[in-house]
Amino acid sequence: MLIRTIALAAGLASGCVAPQALAGGDDYEAANDIKGAGPAYFGFVRDARGSPVTDAVVMLRPKTGKPVPLKTNALGLYRGHVSKDVRPDDVQISCEKSGYKQAKVYRRTPPGSKDMFIETECTLQRL
């Protein structure tokens, strides 16, 4: 503990500043959304034990248009958009990562909802 305190004091004295922590622990906030991009698709990818799965790929597949791949962060969180012209009910969501298989996908925002935030939880199971 004493060594940590000395190291911290030395860093502050030399002008080193610790990196700023973000509230909530990530940079996936609504302020980062692209204006006019359409509904925000977001959620978490976790393993069967409930632990976050980092660097999983979440695919947003609209009935028409190109699929949108999103990658999860260290918390297993993803967030992105398809197109404002695509109805949220027409977007299928899946998740994948090497060494895992998709166990379930649970959409919290009910189909037919007029909500602009579509929350979906993905669970992956180790192979």
Instruction: List, for residues 72-112, the tens digit of each pLDDT value.
Output: 999 999 999 988 888 888 999 999 999 999 999 999 887 77
pLDDT at 12: 39
Question: Domains, the chain, ranges and CATH?
Answer: 28-126 (2.60.40.10)
Q: In this predicted structure, what is the pLDDT of residue 83?
A: 87
Q: For residue 24, is pLDDT > 60?
A: no
**Residue with structure tokens 């999983």?**
56
The fraction of the chain above a pLDDT of 90, given in percent, is 52
Q: What pLDDT shows up at residue 45?
A: 98
Whole-angstrom Cα distance, residue 29 to residue 95?
Answer: 21
pLDDT at 109: 80
Q: Is the pLDDT of residue 116 over 50?
A: yes
